[in-house]
Chains A and B, each alone.
Chain A
Amino acid sequence: MKDEQHNKPATEQAEEFDNELQTWYKLQAQEQASSELDDSIIKMAIEASAVSNQAAVDSSKHQAPLAGDKFTDNVVRVENSFWRKNRWALSSAASVMLVVTVVMLNPQSPQEILSDDAMPMMMQMSQPLDEQLESLQADTVDVKSESRQAHRTPSAMPASAQQFDGAAAPKMKPTGEGADDRAKLGAEAQSNLSLSSKSLSSHALPNKSVPQREAMVSAKQALNHLQNLIDSKLWDEAEKLANKLAKQYPNLEESEHPQHQRWSELQAEITAH
């Protein structure tokens, strides 16, 4: 044994204990577990084996029904379900159906949503009227001569705005300062600006919003209808409509209103009869 130890390489010797130590170790009293401990462990092993055997027998007894269950389970396979397989297409179709149903049930809402006038109120009001006038004025003035551009000083801007205000509200007399500024502008600019103010007069009345502009258009249509009634000589109905329009569109009485003259003529025809 010692010879074997001496013949071993140094690395292998380092992995083992000295031969003398091994000899002395083996000479020690070799303790053993008590027989009671041995018996209890072996008994434990036998009992565990019996339990596992019983479990194996039970499982074999239930194997056939379990196999049947498995077969049944295979019939209803969740992963092969039509609803699960086409869940994306089905959910998309359901979403489209829902939206279409909502549109069909609310015929008024989609028109508002899809029309150009479906702009939120805040967006309509986000640009003040004065700024709108200024931008329109700027567009008009920019195409004109440089001399007129020279007059477009910051002090001139409020004056022109006042001019527009004056055009929009004829009852307000223009101030002397505003008249002076207007006098400074060239005749061409005057005509352009007056054109602009005319075009705006139907829309850009003080604090008038877009629905009010629509009301002006409606007044024209209403006058057309009134004209049709007069042409058809339906004087009673024409009178009723004229009264209604007088209440609904009091601005028609104003001389600045584009339909004022026509309104006056139609009223005259009705009163003549």
Chain B
Amino acid sequence: MAQALGQDKSTEAEIDQRLMLNYASGDTSAFETLYLKHKGGLYRYFVRQIGDKQLAEDLYQETWGRIIKSASSYQADAKFTTWIYKIAHNLLIDHVRAVKPVDLFSETFSEEQDAEALLPSDEMSSDRAMEDSFKASLLKRCIALLPMVQKEALLLNMEAGFTASAIADIVGVTLEATKSRIRYANQGLKTCVMNKWQEVQNER
């Protein structure tokens, strides 16, 4: 099954490369296909890291602009997703260097009230799906509290399905450092979600 998944992934990578090369040769529909395929993950990569939706959209647009400009020089031996997330990472780093992080938790605080509204009622407490849904909202708040580097590793894994080695390649750190980031993020998020869940249970 893993082999089949690997084949699917390699096939997807090949499809992406072919689409990009087609676009470079003038096929605009190939770009539309590529865009629709990757727009969600890339958009969330920015929105969930930055917190500022307007700024995230600017960086998102800039990333696609660079992809369009560099289409003619795109090398088919480079994996398309790795390439676009490298561009996105570099833009994000430039932004972080240029401007000190704004209030990254603004969205978290504004949505905290919404989270209260999502608190499960007594009737729904037995429902596993509702519990997961509530924990999902808690996870979103916990992700916002993660350090930037751990958050980026999480988003690259969750949104684009990158392995630790691919993340290390995109971010430009060693594999061991990436693994430790993933491990710390994993532990931190689990603890955060469980603590918050426990608090909610205690309040009830």
Contacts and interface: CB of A to CB of B under 8 A. Distances in A.
Contact of B69 (A26, A31, A48, A53): A48
Given A17-B186, A24-B139, A44-B68, A33 B157 contact: no
B40 A32 contact: yes
Interface residues of B, number: 43
Given A15-B182, A24-B193, A44-B68, A33 B60 contact: yes
Given A41-B61, A46-B28, A52-B72, 14 more contacts: A15-B163, A17-B158, A17-B182, A17-B185, A24-B132, A24-B136, A25-B136, A27-B133, A34-B57, A38-B35, A42-B32, A45-B28, A45-B31, A52-B26
A1 to B, nearest CB: 11
A15 B31 CA distance: 32
A41 B64 contact: yes
A21 B190 CA distance: 7
15 contacts: A17-B154, A18-B190, A24-B132, A25-B158, A26-B136, A27-B133, A30-B44, A37-B57, A41-B35, A41-B65, A42-B28, A45-B23, A45-B31, A48-B69, A52-B26
Interface string B76-108: 000000000000000000000000000000000
B160 interface: no
A49 interface: yes
B13 interface: no
A28 B1 CA distance: 27
A21 to B, nearest CB: 6
Nearest to A53: B26
Contacts of B158: 17, 22, 25-26
A174 B23 CA distance: 116
B47 interface: yes
B28 A49 contact: yes
A49 B39 contact: no
Interface residues of A, number: 32
A16 interface: yes
A37 B182 contact: no
Nearest to A18: B186
Contacts of A49: 23, 26, 28, 31
Contacts of A52: 26, 72
Given A21-B186, A38-B39, A31 B23 contact: no
Nearest to B60: A33
A125 B132 CA distance: 111
Given A41-B35, A45-B31, A45-B68, A27 B136 contact: yes
